Structure 1
Amino acid sequence: MSPRPPRRRLVPDYLATGGRAQGDDRISLERLSVLQAATPEEPRELSPGQRRVLDILPEGRSLPLAEVAARLGLPFSIARVLAADLVEAGYLRTRPPIPPAQRPDRDLLEKLINGLHGLKS
């Protein structure tokens, strides 16, 4: 017996955004933009997709937008529109991803780890 094929969603993805392909132009969200819930109060009049975004971001927890899309099983473009609407409404805060120049040097970290392993022996 072969495994069951993945179930098709009952509601097409584009309906989650009301048919819009882009969010607010003033809110620029990238794949690695970090989202965090901005208010502990119960939001009103949200679409089911927006409510799902807020449900996976409990107070104090941050996730990159790409991971939010993956956890919801939505295309990135749909998750970006939903998140932009929530940022505009004040339910989410966002910060840009860490630029590559500010990330730690991988080679330096590997040398540090190897040196620490050498001290251990």
Structure 2
Amino acid sequence: MRPIRRTRVGLVRSHTTTGGATATSRSSLDASTLLYPDLKAPLAELDPTSARVMNLLRTIGAMSISEAAAHLKIPFPFVVICADRLIDSGHVFAKAPTSAEQATAPGVDVLERLLHGLQQL
């Protein structure tokens, strides 16, 4: 007796989605990295997952990698690999958010104007 062979329709193995990639060339990409789409870049040469990420960014606008993963219901590591490819191809520009240590404090004149505005309320 032959065992029944069951196939799952619609499932794609993860290594197929990423083209076998398991890591990115950038260690700086994290959940809060913001992705900005290049609206003029052609989508024809993109793989399906990267095209979905680009269509989302073109529709909604700039967003973080974790937001894109949540919107598309794709595991976060896959979106990181797609974002890395999109950056390499020039389809996306990435910017890490400014940390509190990197932020510059406002000048005294800005704080005085803010205080004056609050006092006017």
TM-score (norm 2): 0.69
Query: 1:49 — aligned with what?
Result: 49
**Percent identity at matched positions?**
27
Q: 1:75 matched to which residue of 2?
A: 75
Structure 1: which 5+ residue stretches go unaligned?
A: 1-7, 103-115
Computed over aligned residues only, the root mean square deviation of the Cα atoms, in angstroms, reads 2.7
Cα deviation per residue 1:4-40 (whole Å; 9 max; x = unaligned)?
xxxx852123321012111224x62110000010242
The residue type equivalent to 2:74 in the other structure is L
In the other structure, the counterpart of 1:99 is 99
Aligned equivalent of 2:22 = 21
Q: Tell me what 1:111 maps to.
A: none
Q: How does 1:51-66 map to 2 (within 5 A)?
A: 51-58=51-58, 61-66=61-66
Amino acid at match of 2:84: A
Secondary structure in 1 aligned to 2:57? coil
Contact 1:37-1:59 at 8 Å conserved across structures:
no
Looking at structure 2, the residues matched to 67 and 14 of structure 1 have their Cα atoms a distance apart, in angstroms, of 22
Q: Which runs of 5+ in 2 are unaligned?
A: 1-8, 104-117
Q: How does 1:102-121 map to 2 (within 5 A)?
A: 102=103
Distance (whole Å) between structure 1 residues aligned to residue 57 and residue 88 of structure 2 = 16
**2:50–2:86 Cα contact (<8 Å) kept:** yes
Q: CA 1:59 to 1:10, structure 2 compared with 1: closer, same or farther past 3 Å?
A: closer
Bigger Rg, which one: 2
- Report the CA distance shift for 1:14/1:78 in structure 2 as closer, same or farther (over 3 A): same
Residues 37 and 60, structure 1, Cα contact 8 Å, conserved in 2: no
Tell me, what secondary structure is at the counterpart of 1:36?
strand
- CA distance in 2: counterparts of 1:37 and 1:67, whole angstroms: 14
Number of matched residues?
Answer: 98
Decide whether the 8 Å contact of 1:24 with 1:85 is kept in 2: no
